[in-house]
Amino acid sequence: MNSRITRGLTVAVGALAVAGAALVAAPVASANGTLSITPATGTGESALAVTTTGGCASPIATHYVVTLSGSGVTGDITLNGLQPLSAIPAAGSQTTPMSVPVASNLDMAQAAYSYDTAGDDTSVKIPTGVYTVKFVCRAGGDPKPITVYEGSLTLRQTTAGIVFEEGAKPIAVANTVKPKITGQAKVGGTLRASAGTWNPAPDATTYTWRVGKKAVGTGASYKVKASDRGKTISVTVTATKDGYNPGRASATIKIAK
């Protein structure tokens, strides 16, 4: 079987056999507890660790896997491959909380995710979003979960690379005060739009003016045309910030007949 190696991850052609991070198919299971992620913030190169609130609590549990999943990705991305529970320090009967290092950082996980099932590099990035990190107890190579612990991780794609925060954080720029249109709402008049207020503060704002559904202008102002008489004009403000999904908010005004 042909394979490629990227950042220490071996992605096998035909089936993803990955030492570190990989796409895997696994049954869905309800969480039996929660987990915490350290460090609480970091970059794609940060070494990660997870700590569960309990143990595997089953005599047939022999292995574990840590996965990343969410609406932004297809399937689960394994962050450490299948690992023996016996390697966890002081694991004992698996009834106590467990703390384990995660073998692949997010840069490595993304490198593996960028390969398709044929082993070709698609350069797909894990999109900005809130993801679920799971610690799953298993019986050997059986994919059926025995005990599952879950935590949340907010991942952002920035111009400098991946950054993350533990927990579910806002992923889009949020509008807190709506934009407003001022000026002379009549033919020949000039309308001006305020940007409104956003959280976090955006890096940039853009404006799109519309008459009905038709885009008729950009910029913070618009000159009312004769064809606009008696119609409703709207402006949509789009706020952008590095690492966040864009936010949008609109205002409308009626033009005099």
For the stretch 159-215, pLDDT in tens is: 999 999 999 999 999 999 999 999 999 999 999 999 999 999 999 999 999 999 999
pTM over 0.75: yes
Domains of the chain are 3-166 (2.60.40), 174-254 (2.60.40.2700)
Q: What is the reported pLDDT for 120?
A: 74
Residue 56: alpha-carbon gap to chain centroid: 28
Nearest-angstrom CA–CA distance, 95 and 49 = 19
The list of the chain residues with pLDDT below 50 reads 1-28, 91-93
pLDDT at 210: 98
SS (H, E, C) 66-122: EEEECCCCCCEEECCCCEEHHHCCCCCCCCCCCEEEECCCHHHHHHHHCECCCCCEC
The helix/strand/coil state of 226 is: helix
205 neighbors 218 (Cβ within 8 angstroms): no
In this prediction, residue 19 carries a pLDDT of 34
pLDDT of residue 17: 29
Contact 137, 148 (CB under 8 A): yes
Please give the Cα distance from 178 to 151 (Å, whole number). 34
Beta-carbon neighbour count of residue 64 at 10 Å? 28
CA atoms within 13 A on the CB side of 96: 8
pLDDT in tens, 138-150: 999 899 999 999 9
**Whole-number pLDDT of residue 170:** 95
pLDDT of residue 95: 62
